[in-house]
């Protein structure tokens, strides 16, 4: 079919726009009342769309304690994807105060296992060791951390230490830490570590295995929890970056300086999951028949292609508009699976999902009738075969 013919067919397309759902009742909306939380700063974000569902001083710069190790572990695991070297622990690497995975000078283990020590027991020694192993010293490693933060979009963050120990120039915001949490959870190896309640690290020297338990109690307190990292210093208070997933909806919550952080995150997730739902278009009824011009048949069946899912609030689902776009006819030939139209879903004037409409079967053009000379030639060829 020529481009001009196809353009004409699209120009004459039938377009149908209809609202999909009735408005949500006031009673249903009452289930999602805004939670009261203890944190000085907090945010709840839909991990897939980036939509902010709850915010409290989310751009306030604050110390973030050991949630810093999310960045350190992410950089270690990204390096380990290229090469996962054996790290020999030195005196300098373990010369750090605070929580520890028990490293001693002379120990040998993989870089990726240091990430386990950071995420399970918040090992400052593990963070320091990884930083020096990757960059030579803590200062140069902080430069790597800040460069990666800029890539992620953390505009109000500055890293100084790999462990999260307090420094006047070491700070972030609840929103920035949520961006980091989303980025880290998109790394499958990182997500696999932080979702575990305990993990075993195999040391190369001495040859031994040590089991480490996860400090993140939310994994036990909230059934939908899938990670990620706790933090505490006297200056920062209790800090927590966490993630949870339910029915296709993935949320990330951050609280900074939160006396009741576990309760805060449970309240935030209850609020978020009540408010947000995974919407997948119902494509069962999206079957059509199109007239076809110049084909072996008069019509072609049209079926929907695959449909993506998106997280939406009840109010957004109520405002969705469906637009069906199909030409009045198509020209042969048509390939099986060829896109002949679409069904799109619009929210406040913006298309958020498009489902292709595809030809269910191929339709060929009829073969032109042979001339008399072609028929004679076919007869001659058949005699000699």
Which CATH number do you get for residue 226? 3.40.710.10
Residue 144 lies in a domain: yes
Residues 156 and 82 in one domain: yes
- pLDDT on residue 375: 60
Do 46 and 130 lie in one domain? The reply is yes
Q: Is position 167 annotated as part of the catalytic site?
A: no
Shared domain check, 46 and 185: yes
Phi, psi of 244, rounded to the nearest 5 degrees: -145, 155
In a domain, 377, yes or no: no
Residue 14 annotated to the active site: no
Q: How far is CA 49 from CA 310, 321, 323, 364, in A?
A: 8, 19, 22, 42
Overall number of domains in the chain: 2
Longest CA–CA separation in the chain, Å: 100
Catalytic residue, chosen from 99, 112, 122, 311, is 122
Pick the catalytic residue from 56, 66, 172, 225. 66
Q: Is residue 320 situated within a structural domain?
A: yes
Residues 244 and 300 occupy one common structural domain: no
User: Has 66 been annotated as catalytic?
Assistant: yes
Q: Are residues 69 and 157 in the same domain?
A: yes
Q: Are residues 149 and 61 in the same domain?
A: yes
User: Hey, how many other C-beta atoms are within 10 angstroms of the C-beta on 289?
Assistant: 11
Q: How many CB atoms lie within 10 A of CB 118?
A: 33
d(CA 79, CA 378): 69
Q: For residue 196, what are the domain limits?
A: 38-259
- Residue 275 falls within a domain, yes or no? no
One domain for residues 250 and 146: yes
- 352 and 323 within one domain: yes
At residue 241's C-alpha, the angle toward residues 235 and 244, to 5°, is 160
Q: Is 186 among the domain residues?
A: yes
**Residues 245 and 311 grouped into a single domain:** no
Rounded Cα distance between 198 and 230, Å, is 15
Active-site residue, from 56, 69, 267, 275: 69
User: Is there a single domain that holds both residue 146 and residue 114?
Assistant: yes
Q: Looking at residue 370, what is its pLDDT?
A: 65
At residue 33, the pLDDT reads: 86
The reply to whether 340 falls in a domain is yes
Reading the chain (385 residues) residue by residue, the pLDDT tens digits are 433 334 334 434 444 555 555 444 444 454 568 999 999 999 999 999 999 999 999 999 999 999 999 999 999 999 999 999 999 999 999 999 999 999 999 999 999 999 999 999 999 999 999 999 999 999 999 999 999 999 999 999 999 999 999 999 999 999 999 999 999 999 999 999 999 999 999 999 999 999 999 999 999 999 999 999 999 999 999 999 999 999 999 999 999 999 999 999 999 999 999 999 999 998 888 899 999 999 889 999 999 999 999 999 989 999 999 999 999 999 999 999 999 999 999 999 999 999 999 999 999 988 777 677 766 677 777 777 6
Task: Please report the pLDDT score of residue 384 as a whole number.
Answer: 73
Question: 240 and 147, same structural domain?
Answer: yes
DSSP class per residue in 325-343 = EE-S-EESPB-TT-EEEEE
pLDDT given at position 30? 43
Q: What is the pTM of this model?
A: 0.82
Of 206, 228, 259, which closes a domain?
A: 259
């Amino acid at each position: 079919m020529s481009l001009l013919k196809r353009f004409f067919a699209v120009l004459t397309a039938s377009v149908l726009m209809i609202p999909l759902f009735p408005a949500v009742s006031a009673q249903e909306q009452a289930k999602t009342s805004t939670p009261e939380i203890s944190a000085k700063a907090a945010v709840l974000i839909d991990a897939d769309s980036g939509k902010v569902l709850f915010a409290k001083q989310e751009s306030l710069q604050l110390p973030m304690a050991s949630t810093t190790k999310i960045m350190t572990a992410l950089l270690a695991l990204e390096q380990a994807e290229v090469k996962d070297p054996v790290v020999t622990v030195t005196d300098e690497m373990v010369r750090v105060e605070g929580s520890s995975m028990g490293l001693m000078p002379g120990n040998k283990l993989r870089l990726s296992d240091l990430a386990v020590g950071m995420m399970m027991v918040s090992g400052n020694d593990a963070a320091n060791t990884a930083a020096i192993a990757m960059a030579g010293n803590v200062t140069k490693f902080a430069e790597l951390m800040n460069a990666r933060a800029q890539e992620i979009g953390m505009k109000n963050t500055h890293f100084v230490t790999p462990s999260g120990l307090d420094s006047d120039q070491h700070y972030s915001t609840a929103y920035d830490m949520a961006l980091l949490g989303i980025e880290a959870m998109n790394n499958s190896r990182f997500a696999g570590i932080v979702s575990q309640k305990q993990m075993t690290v195999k040391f190369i020297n001495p040859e031994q295995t040590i089991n480490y338990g996860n400090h993140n109690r939310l994994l036990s307190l909230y059934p939908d929890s899938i990670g990620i990292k706790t933090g505490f210093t006297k200056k920062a208070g209790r800090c927590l970056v966490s993630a949870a997933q339910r029915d296709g909806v993935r949320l990330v919550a951050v609280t900074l300086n939160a006396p009741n952080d576990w309760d805060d995150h449970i309240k935030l997730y209850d609020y978020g999951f009540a408010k947000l739902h995974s919407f997948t278009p119902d494509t069962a009824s999206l079957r059509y028949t199109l007239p076809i011009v110049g084909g072996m048949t008069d019509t072609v069946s049209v079926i929907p292609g695959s449909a993506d899912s998106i997280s939406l609030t009840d109010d957004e689902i109520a405002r969705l508009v469906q637009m069906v776009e199909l030409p009045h006819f198509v020209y042969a030939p048509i390939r099986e699976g060829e896109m002949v139209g679409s069904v799109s879903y619009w929210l406040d004037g913006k298309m958020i999902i498009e489902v292709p409409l595809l030809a269910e079967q191929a339709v060929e053009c009829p073969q032109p009738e042979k001339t008399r000379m072609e028929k004679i030639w076919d007869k001659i060829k058949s005699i000699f075969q």
